[in-house]
Amino acid sequence: MITEEQCRTAPKVLLHDHLDGGLRPATVLELAHETGYGALPADDADALATWFATAANSGSLETYLETFAHTVGVMQTASALTRVARECVEDLSTDGVVYAEVRFAPELHVEKGLSLDDVMEAVLAGFAEGADEARAQGRPIVVRCLVTAMRHAARSREIAELAVTYRDRGVAGFDIAGAEAGFPPSRHLDAFEYLRGECAHFTIHAGEAFGLPSIHEAIAFCGAERLGHGVRVMDDVTLPGGGVSPGRPVDGATLGRVAHYVRDKRIPLELCPSSNVQTGAVASLADHPFDVLARLRFRVTVNTDNRLMSDTSMSREFMLLHRQFGYDWADFERFTVNAMKSAFLPFDERIALIDGVIKPGFARLKSQRFDG
Ligand SMILES: O=c1[nH]cnc2c1ncn2[C@H]1C[C@H](O)[C@@H](CO)O1
Ligand SMILES: [Zn+2]
């Protein structure tokens, strides 16, 4: 039996977390007050937390994304961005995350006159402050930023250039996000070609609200190194008895070409169990293909996506998976090493975290099981 408290002590790796999806409810309120944002749907922290979790529970990605108007709305000044970034790192380190890639879309934070560079500087300053505080408190965390472009907009090339400009100052890669249906990744080929030319890393949100064609484009046309969600790769997997219920044997599963390619190339899937249920990518946690994909040896990773909208944390996602699929520490260690291997961090730094932090941390947890 694993507890949430123990999960907090496990050294966790987070590859898919949105800065504007992880604000503390009290901070949203305070920033709204400070910056004169008057459109919040609630005026106390508990009610606001409930509003976000409920509104995001719509079963549609488009409706889920509407909730971001209120977080982005209060993130339009340099000091607000720095505060949100600092608190994000504090919250992740308190939760026992040892490496995180946190993403956000700079183009959404220029409504009140900040330049894209102002936005980057403010967020990176907040990450650095948060990491300094965490180290001082004995909970070191390495944080990198992923710069996101919105797929419905037309600024991806410019945003990709921004990611490259800041690559040695805390930015590890690039991403595209936003509504998926009707906005295929190939609309942004120019950005991806530029990034490949610069030997820069990128992931693409694909296979969440739209199926295989989106995944196919992301990996085959655009060259994505990882898939944001990618949960719909399951559409290309046929199990002997159908369905994805836990415990169903995966022997005899047949994979189509896209699924084979994703598995053969060890393309990491940034799975976000709670978010995937909220946006309707899967019907319920019990129906989530996480376990089937894990047993078929896809490179699965556990992620939060939006901690505010899903009222979650990495520890909570671990607990949900533990309860649903019975995972033990060896399983969580495997998913964590998968994530660290897939990080957009130089190889030597990844190995140092795996050997120096992740393996010793899980060894401690595994031995505790025998001590009672
Ligand atoms: O799960 C998601 N899918 C697609 N887009 C998303 C998801 N979560 C957040 N976003 C969008 C809304 C944010 O404003 C933006 C940048 O973080 O990314
Ligand atoms: Zn996301």
pLDDT at res. 248: 73
Q: Is the pLDDT of residue 97 over 80?
A: yes
Establish if 366 belongs to a structural domain: no
Give the distance (Å) from ligand 1 centre to CA of residue 113. 22
Q: Which of 126-130, 173-177, 210-214 has the lowest mean pLDDT?
A: 210-214
pLDDT tens digit sequence for 268-279: 999 999 999 999
The parent domain of residue 30 ranges over 10-360
Four-point Cα dihedral 54, 177, 346, 315, nearest 10: 10
pLDDT at res. 240: 87
Under the banding of pLDDT at 50, 70 and 90, the label for residue 369 is: low
Q: pTM of the entire structure?
A: 0.98
Which protein residues have their CB within 5 A of the ion that is ligand 2?
A: 305
Q: Find all residues with CB under 8 Å of 6, minimum gap 6, and list them.
A: 365, 368
Establish if 340 belongs to a structural domain: yes
Q: Helix H segments across 268-346?
A: 273-278, 290-295, 314-325, 329-342
Establish if 198 belongs to a structural domain: yes
Find the ligand nearest to 274 CA.
1
Q: Which residue, judged by its Cα, is nearest atom 9 of ligand 1?
A: 18
Give the distance (Å) from ligand 1 centre to CA of residue 362. 31
Bridge-partner residues for 238, per DSSP?
254
Under the banding of pLDDT at 50, 70 and 90, the label for residue 372 is: very low
Give the number of residues written for the chain: 372
Q: Find all residues with CB under 8 Å of 122, minimum gap 6, and list them.
A: 78, 79, 81, 82, 85, 114
Pocket, ligand 1, Cβ cutoff 6 A: 18, 20-21, 61, 65, 68, 72, 103-105, 108, 148, 177-178, 205, 208, 275, 305-306
How many structural domains comprise the chain?
1
Nearest to 153 by CA among 105, 217, 216, 225: 105
pLDDT at res. 249: 79
Establish if 5 belongs to a structural domain: no
Please state, for a pLDDT cut of 90, what percent of the chain lies above it.
94
pLDDT at res. 90: 98
Mean pLDDT (whole number) for 60-88: 97
Q: Is the pLDDT of residue 305 over 90?
A: yes
Q: Tell me what ipTM this predicted complex has.
A: 0.99
Establish if 166 belongs to a structural domain: yes
Mean pLDDT (whole number) for 293-309: 98
Q: Which are the catalytic amino acids?
A: 208
Establish if 96 belongs to a structural domain: yes
Under the banding of pLDDT at 50, 70 and 90, the label for residue 297 is: very high
Please state, for a pLDDT cut of 70, what percent of the chain lies above it.
98
Give the distance (Å) from ligand 1 centre to CA of residue 1. 34
Q: At 38, which CATH number?
A: 3.20.20.140
pLDDT at res. 242: 73
Q: Is the pLDDT of residue 370 over 70?
A: no
Judge contact between 146 and 173, C-beta under 8 A.
yes
d(CA 288, CA 59): 14
Establish if 2 belongs to a structural domain: no
Q: Is the pLDDT of residue 246 over 80?
A: no
Nearest to 177 by CA among 169, 190, 188: 188
Establish if 157 belongs to a structural domain: yes
What is the average pLDDT score of the chain?
A: 96
d(CA 120, CA 139): 25
